[in-house]
Amino acid sequence: MPEASFDVVILGGGPGGYVAAIRAAQLGFSTAVVERESLGGICLNWGCIPTKALLRTAEIAHLLRDQAKDFGFEIGAWSFDLAKVVARSRRVAERLSKGVTSLMKKNDVRVFFGTGALAAPGLVTVRAADGQVRDVGARHVILATGARARTLPGLEPDGERIWTYREAMLPEALPASLLVVGSGAIGIEFASFYRQLGSEVTVLEVLPRILPAEDEEISKLARKIFEKQGIAIHTGAALGAVEKGADGVTARVTLADGKETEIRAERVVSAVGITGNVEGIGLESTRVVVERGHVRVNEWLQTGEAGVYAIGDLAGPPWLAHKAMHEGVICVERIAGEDVQPLDVTMVPGCTYSLPQIASVGLTEEKARAGGRAVRVGRFPWLGNGKAIALGETEGLVKTIFDAQTGELLGAHMLGPEVTELIQGYAIARGLETTQHELMRTVFAHPTLSEAMHESVLAAYDRVLHV
C-alpha cells in the first residue's frame, strides 16, 4: 500500500512543476511534488535567475567602463571581486528557492525530496538520497523532470577546462580567454557576460548565423554589435578534435570557407542545446513515447499512457521556463475539466539577456514569407528614440511583421535596451488578435522606449514619424 495518495503527483519542482502544483492545489486537488535537488529546478537555481544576476554585473561593468564619462563621471581605475559577483548570484537563487518552498507550504502541497519514477499505474516510487524508498499513490502524474545540457562527442564537460552552464556560473577566476560552442541564447549570454568582464571571447556556431532561432535581420545586426564589442564569431564552423592541456584547450575548427584553424582558450563553454531527463523515471514499462530525447504529448500535454502527462523542457521546444509554467496550468486545468485552450507556441516570447538584449514573439520574416504570406514589415532604429538616446543605448532596432491583407501582427523582433521587458506588449497584442489599426491608435507615453514599438508599427504602413 502507498504511504500516501494524491490526486496529482508531479515529478520535478522546476518552474513547470511547482506552478502546476500551485494551480492544482487552487483547484482543490490534493497535490504532491517530487524533487531530487532544490525547488525551483534548473531555471531558478542554475539557469534563468542566477545568470540574470551575473548579467546585471556585466551591465554595470559596461556603464562604468564605456559610459561613465559620457554621463559626467570620472571613475579612474576600478576593479571587481569575482567571488562576490558569483556569491551574489547564488544568494539571489537561494532567496527565490526558499520562496518556492514557502509557496508549497502556503498551498498545502506535499514535497518529497528524492528521485521519482512510475512504478505501476497510479503509483510513484520515490527514492531519497539516503536510500529510503516510499510509494506514493497518484490519480494523475505530471512529468516535469526538465532537461540537461547536451554534450558533443569529444567535448564532454570535465568541470575544469570544458564547462557546462553550471561551471560557467561558478568561476573561481576570470579566464583570460573563453571559447563558447553554440550561439543560442545560453551561449550568447555567457559570451556577453565574460566579454564585458574582460575575457577574450570566441563564439563557434555550426549553423550559418548566430542566434539561429531569431529573425535573420536581427541575427545579423546582433553579430555586428557583438563583434564591435570584441567578440570573435565563426559561423558555419565545424568543431573537430579538442585537446586539453595544462594551461588551456586547443580546438581544431573547419571554417565556413573550408579552411582549418586552431582556436586556443583557457576554458570552453559547451552550449549546444539540451536533452530531456527521460531516464530513470519508469517510462520503460509504459506507453509513453520518447522521441529525440523528449516525451511526445498531445495538445493537452497527455502522453500515450493514461493518467500520465508531460510538460516543459521534457515535452520539447521551445525550452523556456515561461512556456513550462503555462503548460503546467493548461495541463492541470484540463484535468479539472476547466475551459482551456491549447498552447500556441508562436505566442511564446523568447528572450536573450545579452548586451544588447534580444526579444521576439511570433513568426520571423522568413517564416512568414515561406508560409505564403504577403507581409508588410516595419523597422525603427533606437537612434530615433528619445529615451534610448537619454540612456545612451542606441544600438539595435524594433522590427514588426504584419499580414499585408488582414493587418494581423505576425511577429515582432527587437534588439536593444530592455527589450526583454517590452516584448510582452507585442505578446499581448498577438493574444488579442490585434491588427495594425489598434496598435497605431494606441497612445504610447513619451518619452519611453516603448515608443519605438509604436514607430515600428507605423513604419510598416509608411507612417513613421521620427526617422
pLDDT in tens, 66-111: 999 999 999 989 999 999 999 999 999 999 999 999 999 999 999 9
pLDDT digits (tens, 9 = 90+) for 160-190: 999 999 999 999 999 999 999 999 999 999 9
Question: 383 exposed, middle or buried (CB, 10 Å; 0-12, 13-18, 19+)?
Answer: middle
413 strand-pairing partners: 360, 399
> Which DSSP category does 443 fall into?
P
SS3 call for 53: helix
- Asked if pLDDT for residue 140 goes beyond 90, the answer is yes
> Which DSSP category does 66 fall into?
I
Count H helices, E strands: the chain? 13, 24
Residue 118 — very low, low, confident or very high, per pLDDT cuts 50/70/90?
very high
Cα 386 to Cα 278: distance, rounded to the nearest angstrom: 50
**356-460 CATH fold:** Enolase-like; domain 1 (3.30.390)
pLDDT digits (tens, 9 = 90+) for 396-446: 999 999 999 999 999 999 999 999 999 999 999 999 999 999 999 999 999
Give the type of residue at 366.
Answer: E
Nearest to 256 by CA among 228, 278, 237, 282: 237
Mean pLDDT of 2-12: 96
Instruction: Kindly list the catalytic residues.
Output: 446
Cα 190 to Cα 193: distance, rounded to the nearest angstrom: 5
Q: The C-alpha cell of 359 is what?
A: 526579444
Cα 137 to Cα 426: distance, rounded to the nearest angstrom: 43
Nearest to 396 by CA among 373, 411, 377, 380: 380
**4-149+275-345 CATH fold:** FAD/NAD(P)-binding domain (3.50.50)
Residue 158 — very low, low, confident or very high, per pLDDT cuts 50/70/90?
very high
The dihedrals phi and psi of 405, each to the nearest 5 degrees, come to -90, -40
> Which DSSP category does 346 fall into?
G
Q: The C-alpha cell of 266 is what?
A: 583557457
pLDDT digits (tens, 9 = 90+) for 210-259: 999 999 999 999 999 999 999 999 999 999 999 999 899 999 999 999 99
Same fold, 4-149+275-345 and 356-460: no
Would you state the pLDDT for residue 256? 97
Would you state the pLDDT for residue 1? 78
Cα 113 to Cα 101: distance, rounded to the nearest angstrom: 12
Contact 11/143 with Cβ under 8 angstroms? Answer: yes
Would you state the pLDDT for residue 252? 97
What value, to the nearest 5°, has the Cα angle with vertex 72 and ends 67 and 74? 80
Would you state the pLDDT for residue 2? 87
% of the chain exceeding 70 in pLDDT: 100
CATH architecture of 162-272: 3-Layer(bba) Sandwich (3.50)
Domain boundaries of the chain, sorted by first residue: 4-149+275-345, 162-272, 356-460
Cα 297 to Cα 317: distance, rounded to the nearest angstrom: 12
Q: What rounded mean pLDDT belongs to the chain?
A: 96
pLDDT digits (tens, 9 = 90+) for 276-333: 999 999 999 999 999 999 999 999 999 999 999 999 999 999 999 999 999 999 999 9
Q: The C-alpha cell of 320 is what?
A: 523556456
Radius of gyration of the chain from its Cα atoms, rounded to whole angstroms: 24
Contact 271/206 with Cβ under 8 angstroms? Answer: no
- Asked if pLDDT for residue 205 goes beyond 90, the answer is yes
User: Taking the model in full, what pTM does it have?
Assistant: 0.95
Would you state the pLDDT for residue 51? 96
- Asked if pLDDT for residue 62 goes beyond 90, the answer is yes
